Amino acid sequence: MFKRSTLITFLLINFLSMSLFAKDRAQLAHQVIVDHMLLLSLVDSNRLFDDYYLLLENNDTVFQGALKDSIESEVAHYWESKSIPLKDPHFRQKADPYQRAVGLEPHLDDFLFLINHIKHFIWLEESYAWPLLSSTRLIKQGDKDPVLNHIGWRLWLLGDLPDSDMIETQYTAQLVSAVQAFQQRHGLEVDGVIGPATLRWLNVKPRDRAKMLAENYVKKHTFLAVREPQYIVVNIPGFDMLLVDNGKVMLDSRVIVGMPSRQTPLFSSEITNVVINPSWRVPKRIMYRDLLPKIRRNGLYINQGNYEVYDRDGQRLLRTPSQWSDIAKGAFPYRLVQKPGEKNTLGRYKFYLPNDFNIYLHDTATPKLFQKANRALSSGCIRVEKVKLLADWMAEHLVNDKKTWQRMQMQREESRWFSLKSFLPVHLVYWTSWLDKKGKVQYRSDIYNHQKAPLLSIAH
């Protein structure tokens, strides 16, 4: 049998161990809440979460009582207002403080990755100076430049350079690889050349990176929380389109969107029809800005581009090239229509979606433009690189008349509209930062200057 003193010692050790365990769990819970407040302080426009963060950051004894109840209620309400569920809706019933704090987090698979990235950025902001880096020339492999030492350190701190021993004042192959990784994460031309755009992104301060990521993360997951089973989402700054079917990405395609002077608007609609071999009724704005100047210089442009001209009564007009050139110098009260065919601007397919902006998805006659990093090149409509795969999916799942669809694959001059068994929702969104499949942070330029912070447009 245990002696009484041995039993007392055992109970005392057990009590102390449990006390230390409880203290550790409370400290872990406090850190989870502090990290949560940091995220929300970066996202929310009012200062409530910012005040909570400043209060809790350096004081691990205040998260209790009425303040604890208030913080938990505000956090739960915030995520519920975004239609994003909590990890544990019954978190208040947990006696373990750590389980309670974790239960208050949003039920999102990549939330921990997000928190770790944001904490890293804030640590960089607090630990390192971030002076403006500049160069008077393009820096290419083999060049020597004192700024390369600073660039190397910055790439290492941001995670694109794997080893600080690779930092040199000469532009080595290892530094080139790091710059290319950085360029890829920022939607730049992945050429390894350090120019103005790469330097602008390198100069973005860590806290600004954290804020950009946090805001876009919440925006994206708020969107995803209330989605249809099947939909298309086009991220305009990312120049990317996803076709999603029951949570699975069926198609990921590069797209071309409107240039800054002719922006693609943000809206949601549905594809109601697919057109094979569409004709193109040229919008007046494009006709006056783009086509008439070409016709003035060369009246043959109408025939060469496979256009037809109609008056207000719908009657086709026939003129000589010199006459068209002269007419284009005046008011030109006519309508231009480009016939279906190889030269048609809309290409092989058009996906019609009702909206007030005359915007739709379509093919293109200039596919080489998809190779560009900056694909804000259209007059507003969205050109889809993998348009044939999108059309094939639509034909298999939604097109009513599959027999005629198959027959039309052999045609190039005849235009045909196809109805659908059900409409496919399309959402045009604007996300300038996200976590990719590998958990790395992706950034894109604010091509339309939509974001509040001025930093988000510096990398044009």
Active site residues: 362, 381
Angstrom CA distances, 236 to 184, 242, 315, 457, stand at: 17, 12, 39, 14
Query: Which residues 6+ apart lie within 8 Å of 459 measured at CB?
Result: 186, 188, 197, 200, 201, 204, 443, 445
Q: Which residue, among 291, 421, 403, 405, has the nearest Cα to 348 in the 3D structure?
A: 405
Under DSSP, is residue 317 helix (H, G, I), strand (E, B) or coil? Answer: strand
Tokens encoding 54: 């400043």
Helix (H) or strand (E) holding 200: helix 196-202
Q: Which residue, among 42, 40, 33, has the nearest Cα to 78 in the 3D structure?
A: 40
- Distance in angstroms (rounded) separating the CA atoms of residues 443 and 205: 13
Cβ–Cβ under 8 Å, residues 177 and 89: no
Beta pairing partners, 232: 243, 426
Radius of gyration from C-alpha coordinates of the chain: 29
Query: Which residues 6+ apart lie within 8 Å of 271 measured at CB?
Result: 232, 351, 352, 353, 361, 394, 420, 423, 424, 426
- Distance in angstroms (rounded) separating the CA atoms of residues 308 and 287: 13
Q: At what angle do helices 206-224 and 111-127 cross, to 10 degrees?
A: 160
Question: What backbone torsions phi and psi does residue 249 show, to the nearest 5 degrees?
Answer: -75, 115
Query: Which residues 6+ apart lie within 8 Å of 237 measured at CB?
Result: 187, 430, 431, 432, 444, 445, 446, 447, 448
Biggest CA–CA distance in the chain, Å, is 117
